[in-house]
Amino acid sequence: MKTKLFTLFAGVELSASCTARVALTTNFWPESSGPGRRRLGKVRGCMTKLNLCSMAIMVGLALPHSSSATVYLTDDFSTYASGNLVGQQGWNQVGSISTLPIQVSGGRVAIPGLAGGSGDNQDAYKSLSTLVTAPSIANTTNKVFYGMTITVTSTAGDSYFIAMVETNSGNNGNGFADFRLTASGNASTYSFGARVNGQTGYPYFYGAGLAYNTTHTVIVEGDMINGNSNDIVEVYVDPTSSDVTAQTPYVAAGYSSGEVADPGTIGFAKYSQFTIPGNGQDGVLIGRLAVADNFADVFNSLRVNIQIASIMQSGNDIVLKWMTPGGTTNQLQVTSGAGGGYSTNGFTNLGPQMIIPGTGVVTTNYTDTGAATNKPARYYRVRLVP
Ligand SMILES: [Ca+2]
């Protein structure tokens, strides 16, 4: 699979006659196949000083095709209507329990924290685009990755809130729940935990303590290994790139003994609400969800896209502001060109690589000194490194 490259393009046209207009357009396209879908961004008035008059800004996200990768599910819950999750975009109710229906609120799936003994409430499932089967050939491994942007607001025991579900019960999301993810902690910190399935031979493994009410990117890797009682589940928290080999697992749950059966064919993603006396449910907010057969596709599906916030003249300078994922490295690049066009081969680095601090969406900026005198046009793009 090819390395994925994210880029953002911004162009400034510097001409003698002001058209008093700034257009912002976002394009996402596979790098090798030209522009794909587009959407119009915002329109601003332009500056008249120094003949900086017409600005055409394009924002691009380059996504090369992956020849062998399969994405099973992607969800951005900011595109959902607030209210019941079930009934929207392929989400269905598991079984007959409909109490406390799972909500979409503020663009996120909201599972409320409940104390132990609060009852059993609605679960929801969505079909994967392709079934994920356990390997039948010796010494082979089939992998499933699922990830989410998640904020943990409270914890109460070790019931899982999300899992991949098998087809053993049919096409109803009510089968065995595998590669379970939970959170457990105390008043000050919590830890994510994962297990292969619900059998006693596959207990939860927990990672280090994290702060509540902070958004993380979490990716769970399920390794379905030929043979019994030998599967592995790993958890990655805030991975730094799409290269799984460059990441250190937050949890690596390997099992070398046991008497239990391994996961079978997986067909669904499932949100679970469940309490019993002594074991409540965690409060979580999930903004995006992705399932694939590889780490990179999940990682990239969870990323916040780079977006231009503004491009302004300041004296002889051009000041660019853009929104970008925290915890990444950005490289601004620039090329000159005629008004209305540029060569993608002509870009050179502008300034040093910028290490973007924090998590979530971060607004950053760069001042291109003296750039407003570069007529007739100047084009920028931001590259996510690597
Ligand atoms: Ca196995």
Q: How far apart are CA 64 and CA 145, in angstroms?
A: 20
Please state the pTM of the whole predicted model.
0.69
Does residue 52 carry a pLDDT above 80? no
Point out the domain boundary residue: 232, 267, 293. 293
What pLDDT is recorded for position 24? 31
Q: How far apart are CA 47 and CA 44, in angstroms?
A: 10
What pLDDT is recorded for position 360? 63
Distance 137 CA to ligand 1 centre (A): 11
Point out the domain boundary residue: 293, 315, 341. 293
- Tally Cβ neighbours within 10 Å of residue 182: 24
Supply 25's token pair.
């357009």
Distance 13 CA to ligand 1 centre (A): 59
What pLDDT is recorded for position 67? 47
* Mean pLDDT value of segment 191-205: 93
Q: How far is the CA of 76 from the CAs of 6, 42, 66, 104, 287, in angstroms?
A: 19, 22, 21, 11, 6
In angstroms, the first-to-last Cα distance of the chain is 15
Q: Find which of 25-29, 62-66, 258-262 is predicted with most confidence, using mean pLDDT.
A: 258-262
Distance 236 CA to ligand 1 centre (A): 21
Point out the domain boundary residue: 293, 325, 349. 293
Q: Do 35 and 184 lie in a common domain?
A: no
Q: Do 249 and 341 lie in a common domain?
A: no
pLDDT confidence tier of residue 200, bands split at 50, 70 and 90:
confident
Q: Do 90 and 54 lie in a common domain?
A: no
Does residue 80 carry a pLDDT above 70? yes
Q: How far apart are CA 269 and CA 91, in angstroms?
A: 9
Distance 224 CA to ligand 1 centre (A): 5
**Three-class secondary structure of residue 77 per DSSP:** helix
What pLDDT is recorded for position 384? 81
Contact status, residue 334 vs residue 318, Cβ threshold 8 Å: no
CB neighbours of 81 closer than 8 A, spacing ≥ 6? Answer: 88, 104
Q: Do 52 and 102 lie in a common domain?
A: no
pLDDT confidence tier of residue 6, bands split at 50, 70 and 90:
very low
pLDDT digits (tens, 9 = 90+) for 246-268: 999 999 988 766 667 889 999 99
Task: With respect to residue 12, please indicate whether it lies within any of the assigned structural domains.
Answer: yes
Distance 197 CA to ligand 1 centre (A): 11
Among 39-53, 151-165, 193-207, 217-231, the range scoring the smallest mean pLDDT is: 39-53
Distance 172 CA to ligand 1 centre (A): 24
Distance 241 CA to ligand 1 centre (A): 28
The whole-chain average pLDDT of the chain stands at 81
CATH number of the domain that residue 84 is part of: 2.60.120
Task: With respect to residue 177, please indicate whether it lies within any of the assigned structural domains.
Answer: yes
Q: Do 88 and 35 lie in a common domain?
A: no
Residue 324 host element (H or E):
strand 317-325
Q: Do 111 and 28 lie in a common domain?
A: no
What pLDDT is recorded for position 188? 94
Contact status, residue 364 vs residue 353, Cβ threshold 8 Å: no
Task: With respect to residue 252, please indicate whether it lies within any of the assigned structural domains.
Answer: yes
Q: Do 269 and 288 lie in a common domain?
A: yes
What pLDDT is recorded for position 87? 98
CB neighbours of 105 closer than 8 A, spacing ≥ 6? Answer: 82, 285
pLDDT digits (tens, 9 = 90+) for 358-367: 766 678 999 9
Distance 135 CA to ligand 1 centre (A): 8
Place of tokens 């003949």: 51
Task: With respect to residue 1, please indicate whether it lies within any of the assigned structural domains.
Answer: no
Q: How far apart are CA 172 and CA 311, in angstroms?
A: 50
Contact status, residue 301 vs residue 71, Cβ threshold 8 Å: yes
Distance 140 CA to ligand 1 centre (A): 9
Task: With respect to residue 2, please indicate whether it lies within any of the assigned structural domains.
Answer: no
Pairing of strands 54-62, 21-29: parallel
For residue 235, the enclosing domain spans 71-293
Distance 97 CA to ligand 1 centre (A): 32
Q: How far apart are CA 280 and CA 253, in angstroms?
A: 23
Q: How far apart are CA 198 and CA 195, in angstroms?
A: 7
Does residue 181 carry a pLDDT above 90? yes
Task: With respect to residue 262, please indicate whether it lies within any of the assigned structural domains.
Answer: yes
Chain centroid offset of residue 165 CA: 21
Per the model's pLDDT, the better-predicted residue between 339 and 105 turns out to be: 105
Q: Do 131 and 256 lie in a common domain?
A: yes
DSSP-assigned letters across all residues of 114-162: B-TTS-----EEEEEEEEEPPP-STT-EEEEEEEEEEEEEE--SS--SE
Q: Do 281 and 147 lie in a common domain?
A: yes
pLDDT confidence tier of residue 22, bands split at 50, 70 and 90:
very low
Q: How far apart are CA 134 and CA 270, in angstroms?
A: 19
Q: How far apart are CA 75 and CA 129, in angstroms?
A: 13
Per the model's pLDDT, the better-predicted residue between 62 and 118 turns out to be: 118
Q: What is the percentage of the chain residues whose pLDDT exceeds 70? A: 80
Q: Do 338 and 231 lie in a common domain?
A: no
* Mean pLDDT value of segment 25-32: 28
Contact status, residue 277 vs residue 118, Cβ threshold 8 Å: no
Place of tokens 């969870």: 302
Distance 257 CA to ligand 1 centre (A): 11
pLDDT digits (tens, 9 = 90+) for 363-386: 899 999 998 888 778 888 888 887
Q: Do 258 and 158 lie in a common domain?
A: yes
Task: With respect to residue 275, please indicate whether it lies within any of the assigned structural domains.
Answer: yes
Contact status, residue 55 vs residue 12, Cβ threshold 8 Å: yes
The total number of structural domains in the chain stands at 2
Q: Do 38 and 78 lie in a common domain?
A: no
Distance 209 CA to ligand 1 centre (A): 29
Does residue 93 carry a pLDDT above 80? yes
